[in-house]
Amino acid sequence: MPRDRNDVLVIEAIKNEARALAHVADLVLAQFEGRYLLMAGAPELRAAVTQYLPKTVQQRLGGEFSADIHALPADVAKASEPVQRVIEEREEVGTVQRLLDAGPNLSAWGEQPTLDALREGRVATLVVDDMFGKPGARCRNCGGLWGAPSPSCLACGSDAIEAVGDVVELAIEQALEQKAVLELVRSSTARGLMASMGPMAAVLRW
């Protein structure tokens, strides 16, 4: 009987810990707008935590990894990196596939068509190869971005054109200001899919 009582106490302790961890995970995801939850721990504890997670959080479980219980935060981050890369690659490929499926009316392919769509406020999702960067130009009058300098702005006609060191960085800033989603492509699979459209593209709002 004592052994059975101990087993019950252990099970109850695991349940209590799992409830607390599930609650903390839910709060952290909500506060920091987390997209996925990665978990490390003993199999029975992971299963218990999963059971107590809200259904909305269960749908955002990204994977599992192993880490020493006394590992430092930097070591935990390193241990979780392979799982994160799998998730990121899956998302990158999905976004690029959406670009391909959107067709010419609901997407912009290539550098200047994407910059033009940004100037018009049409970009819903900006997709950029993380290694891509190049000089360009910006119109101080209308904010238009250009892949190459010209005497006057091709959009508004102003001669307030200035050279910029990295037009891609400015494009990313504009996209975020317009509340567009940003997808930085790092995986070789997604880069391969982008080969036909160039290192910068966008899914359009309209």
Which of 35-49, 81-95, 154-168 has the lowest average pLDDT? Answer: 35-49
Could you report the per-residue pLDDT of 186-196, keeping only the tens digit for each? 999 999 999 99
pLDDT at position 129 over 60: yes
**Which pLDDT belongs to residue 4?**
62
Could you report the per-residue pLDDT of 78-128, keeping only the tens digit for each? 988 888 888 899 999 999 999 999 988 999 999 999 999 999 999 999 999
Q: Indicate whether 126 and 200 sit together in one domain.
A: yes
The range of the structural domain enclosing residue 51 comes to 2-64
Q: Domain containing 125 — which CATH number?
A: 3.30.1330.30
Out of 14, 45, 64, a domain closes at: 64
Q: Indicate whether 22 and 118 sit together in one domain.
A: no
Q: Indicate whether 119 and 39 sit together in one domain.
A: no
Q: How many domains does the chain have?
A: 2
| Mean pLDDT, all residues of the chain | 90
**Which pLDDT belongs to residue 1?**
44
For residues 165 and 134, is the Cβ–Cβ distance under 8 A? no
**Which pLDDT belongs to residue 191?**
96
Could you report the per-residue pLDDT of 59-72, keeping only the tens digit for each? 888 888 888 888 88
The reported pTM is 0.76
Give the pLDDT band (50/70/90) at residue 5: low
Evaluate whether residue 72 is within a structural domain: no
Give the pLDDT band (50/70/90) at residue 3: low
Evaluate whether residue 77 is within a structural domain: no
